[in-house]
């Protein structure tokens, strides 16, 4: 079955710097890759997603890139702000309703 690895597990950046989180997946048939943000005491919330027919997608300060050959995808956050501090999860899915999540990255943005 699908396996998703996520790195780093923790990431600390200064406000205004960029943050990059990387994920690799095992099933080459995976074709949907969402990213979720989880704030303390809340459920995960989708921040951006990408499908396998697209290499890059951007939404304001957030971008995701996908390399199907290498089977990895990354989340890029530019101009980080303290409110970006949260746990971020990548996930992968193969034409099913089953999302396989990565292990999470705790991002801390220091003012």
**Binding-site ranges for other proteins (CB under 8 A):** 31-32, 34, 36, 38, 41-46, 49, 51, 87, 89, 93, 95-101, 103-104
State which residue, 47 or 109, has the beta carbon closest to other proteins: 47
Of the pair 38, 65, the CB lying nearest other proteins is at 38
Smallest gap from residue 57 Cβ to other proteins (A): 14
For 45-108, the DSSP string reads EEEEEEETT-SEEEETTEEEEEETTTTEEEEEE-S--GGG-EEEEEEEBSSSS-PEE---EEEE
Contact 37, 88 (CB under 8 A): yes
State which residue, 20 or 87, has the beta carbon closest to other proteins. 87
């Amino acid at each position: 079955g699908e396996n998703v690895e996520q790195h780093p597990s923790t990431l600390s950046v200064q406000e205004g710097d960029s943050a990059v989180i990387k994920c690799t997946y095992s099933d080459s048939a995976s074709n949907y890759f969402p990213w979720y943000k989880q704030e303390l005491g809340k459920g995960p919330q989708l921040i951006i997603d990408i499908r396998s027919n697209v290499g890059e997608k951007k939404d304001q300060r957030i971008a995701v890139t996908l390399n199907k050959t290498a089977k990895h995808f990354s989340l890029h956050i530019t101009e980080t702000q303290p409110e970006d501090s949260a746990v971020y999860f990548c996930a992968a899915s193969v034409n099913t309703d089953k999302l396989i999540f990565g292990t999470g990255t705790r991002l801390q943005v220091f003012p």
